[in-house]
Structure 1
Amino acid sequence: MSQKIRKIAFRIAKWGAALAALGVLALAVAVFIAYQSLPSYEQLRTRTDLGQTIRVRADDDSILVSMGPSFGRWLDYEQIPEVMRTSMVAVEDRRFRSHPGVDPIGIARGMWISLKAGDGLGGARGVSTITQQVARNIFLTPDRNMIRKAREGVIALALEQKFSKDQILELYLNRVYFGGGAYGIDAASNTFFGHPATEMTLGEATIIAGLVKAPSNYSPTADPEAARGRAGVVLDSMVRYGFLSAQEAAMVDPAEIVIQKPTGGNAARYFVDWALPQLDTLIRETSEAIDVYTTLDPDMQQWASDAINAHAPGGAQGALVAIDRDGAVRALVGGKDYVESIYNRATVAKRQPGSSFKLFVYLTALEQGLRPDDMVMDEQVTIDGWTPRNSNRTFLGPVTLREAFARSINTVSAQIGQNMGFGTIASMANRFGISDQIDTYPSMVLGTSEVRLLDMTRAYAAVSRGGVSVPPYAITKVVTAEGRLLYSHEPAPPRVLVAPWVASDMTDLLQTGVMSGTGRAANIGRPTAGKTGTTQSNRDGWFIGFSSGLTTGVWMGNDDNSPVRGLQGGTAPARAFRDFMSKAVANRPVESFDIGSELPDWQLEPDDEAWMNGDPMLDPYGNPIEGDPLDPLAPLPDGATPPVDDEWLDGVLRRDQPRGDPLQRPSQPRRDPLEPAPAPQPQPQPRPRDNPDMVRVEPLAPPPSVPADQPQPRR
């Protein structure tokens, strides 16, 4: 039996040796072929096709940003500071001088660690020597698979046969990517420290050496603390593997390394950061140099940035989005200063919208049959233990729906939610492009669910367009450097969200908010519609509105969601809107709104968004109103602009023209608007049955109960 086992073992060993010999022979042939195909060292030195160049252009063809590889001066091996050479070897490949291009010890160690962690043999794929990185960066793609890894090893072995260790390290340090568009240590040193690599200190060398592993995560300009922390890891490696003494390492304090702030940052970078990722869905991946033409208007962008910086309170942040009638984004500001903070508050940040969310509450009411002139009751109401309160702590009794909207009366919004269904309102918000989840507890009608400024602005733009969706877009076309068209924008098919008469009545309410409600500071002297929003403890201030086909949304607040003293939607955000829009639409024709109802006689709103915290009430042009704001006979302060008179309103609202019934409003049975419809009668359907484009809102399940201590945000 033992003899039989010995024969089997002998055969296995014989065939194993034969297969191993064949494997070695095949590897030798592969390395020889790769060796023969390698370019000369001089050719590798002059090669610059290691990245794609992208030029992003505004709508006037001017270049907003040019992105692509930046190559510094080529440094010969002797010119590269020794601290740079040793720090890179210590952290990336400490056995660089002893292995043949592939590190068997490193591979075995990686496999062992992976096996202990239960990850199989895949850990070996994460082990790359400096020579392998040169092979991958110059000759291969970054795909992660075993075939690419095998080719990488073959090329690395060939490189070691053709070039010396010093040449390989020289090639590596002059061509590896360090982030920020910088290829090579000279470009990196100039980018991050403002001087050539030949002047590099030990501390600076450790920061650059630490970037190779993850240039984005450890970028000195984006996250200086992460870069300094990584430099400490490099110093420890240099000491551990004998490249540096402990005394020398102790003399370096990463916290004292001076990192140069990037120059040339501007507000347009927020727009570029939002637009460029869209290329992944618009064109196939290409390494060609391309020009990306966008919708951004440079003048509007500058005016938007100026408006935010001029009006955002103190240390608070601000954001602005302007969308044209076809969805083209003309301006996008994600913060006060891109250099200081790349966080995009226009497209990424989610904040409570306050009363600006009431757009969806009243759209639901109008779609279900209410009219701007319908009478509703402002009275105390309790819903599942929640009792909303009005900011003025009073109840007005019977008011029109229009007055309730302009005064932003919370009790009326709560009653609409109770009778129409909180889920129905959430569905309306989703219908208009609010992509985030909307909670359906009762206080949601006051804007307690977090949303994005871009989404809210898109929703208001759809109302401006008559109830038709307005998907925002940034890229108009993409062209190669040779002029080959890769992409051209085509308008999205129109999608009707609500009936035209619903959008018309909503515009009526929104115009009231600017003419005589909380948004008076946003009046730009031509027909303007919009709504303010202020959240609890003045944490967020919003104003979103439209005029002459341009819709603009403004948000202000602190990134940490802390209160901002005196911040209200009707103050700083409305003024920023006014400053921006007065310039942005100056050369556009004045467009009257096609609305079906007149404004009420009352003109002022005693509301906390207009005059809480000691802020003065404003007339339609933003002038402070002294004395009793509700007294029409009160004298105007010296130099103040007189209130808008009836003659001007007649011209703007076309009240002096015969109305007819241009919107063909479907007839509705008259009833108490906020009285629940008696069962089992169905809810009124605002859509004419012969209109297949209209959206029907189906009744939803009753909303869940809410605790009595539920937060009650102020508008």
Structure 2
Amino acid sequence: MKLIGYIFGITSAALLGIFGIGVVYLWEVANDLPDHRKLAEWEPALMTRFYAYDGTPIAEYARERRLYLPIAAIPERVKAAFLSAEDKSFYSHSGIDVLSVFKAAWSNAVNLGSGQRLIGASTITQQLAKNFLLSSDRTLRRKIKEAVLSIRIEHSLSKDRILELYLNDIYLGLGAYGIAAGALTYFDKSVSELTVAEAAYLAALPKGPNNYNPHRHPERAVSRRNWVIGQMQRNGFVSAAQASNMMARPLGVKPQAKNPDMAEANYFVEEVRREVAGQYGEAALYDGGLSVRTTLDPTLQAAALMALRAGLVDYDQARGFRGPVAHIDISGDWATALAKHETFTDMKEWQLAVVLSCSDAGVGIGLRRAKLGPEHSPTSPETGLIGRNTMRWALKLAAGGKIRQVDSIDKVLSPGDVIYVEKVGNGYLLRQMPEVQGAIVSMDPNTGRVLASVGGFSFAQSRFNRATQASRQPGSAFKPFVYAAALDTGYTPATLVMDAPFSMPDGAGRLWKPKNYDGKFGGPSTLRTGLEMSRNPDDGAPRPTSWHGPRCRIRPRLRPLR
């Protein structure tokens, strides 16, 4: 009996010691927790959107693509899908689902050493605590912190508020944060338009968006979605017949269609972005969820872009063909070799192609296969034909500033040449990126509103905005200042000045040689008829343009030549 008493006493003391250590540990952990009240003041990073004057979206900026949706705007079927997938007892537990914890512990003990991943029993509240306040470390200390914070959160926030925060914070893959962005990204729908099957698929993603990627792992995605539908049936949200019907459906993923005008106003949008960032700051631009209404007219913008590109192409082609973009070996897998060459993303109508053959009928080409990324399967390369009659402009070869006329296509192109083409009807046209650039600005003269703006041929090729950033030569507009300066220094309209050839270094290793419009020089001319007055090295008079411009409050942006 004494032995039993000793054993009982030692055991009791050990248990009390363990309990005491546990209490001290919990007290220490509880005093090292972040402030859970931050959740009540959480301001999510939201996506900023730019709109045209008619409300058409033209650009989006965000570090995290998120559109915040209040809980009242989330349909019950969507809530049911996420609760069935993540936490079916959400509205009944106090932050920790004790029964699920014991089930998970038992399952992990049974599978110990089997190599299977340990399963958790985190509630939605615990996931919220981890995502907002803690790290993702898989340690006992972090799990204890998570449990304590969950209980505190449940006492300070309502269940609906917790669910609202969770549904707007979760990452669903493909750059989408929250269910509003997820619905647009995967189904091109608002949350209110989602079917039960679509909501079930979105609810399947938080556990592992990459594991259930619909393009990379379609079988896994369908299986996980069907599991969520099965859980919804068990929880009484859908009937057996409805569940069976929805499980038989395909995923129906439909990537969000980009507005056709969004890529057509890059130069305009970039100017607006700089203005907004300068006025409100980068943080407000990328995290503040701003809604910016601009003056852009999408119809006029599309017309301006088309007109500028057509004009530059016509002007450039009239001066001959400058040769292919590159040359590749077509004896092997030419499609892979061609895909390595980058193209301009905003030139949707133009494609890269490789010359496969040249004949009297025209040029046989192979088209560049689009780089769809790891989540898409590659497509087979296409082939086509550039008709001989459409290539007459290319028979003029431009090289070294001279144009040479040729009479045969095989003197222009050869197999392996990489070129740009544009599909027109059933055939293709040969294209080349123009060397010349241009710009268009369309304004309403009554209000000053900019209705359309194009700063160059291709924004992907060059982001330099020739409509707003280029420094233009003043030309004849500056003549009044030159003549006014001359009159101020004693010249009269009858004063003779020398109109003769002149040159000076331009600072870039070349010579600047001004000349008259007709290319001729008049010799001694009166000031009344003279076209140049800013120089006369022999008369001793001050150089008028060096001081009269500033007097008229003209401040040149160029640095003086030294």
Q: Return the TM-score normalized by structure 2.
A: 0.44
TM-score (norm: length of structure 1): 0.36
The structure whose Rg is larger is 2
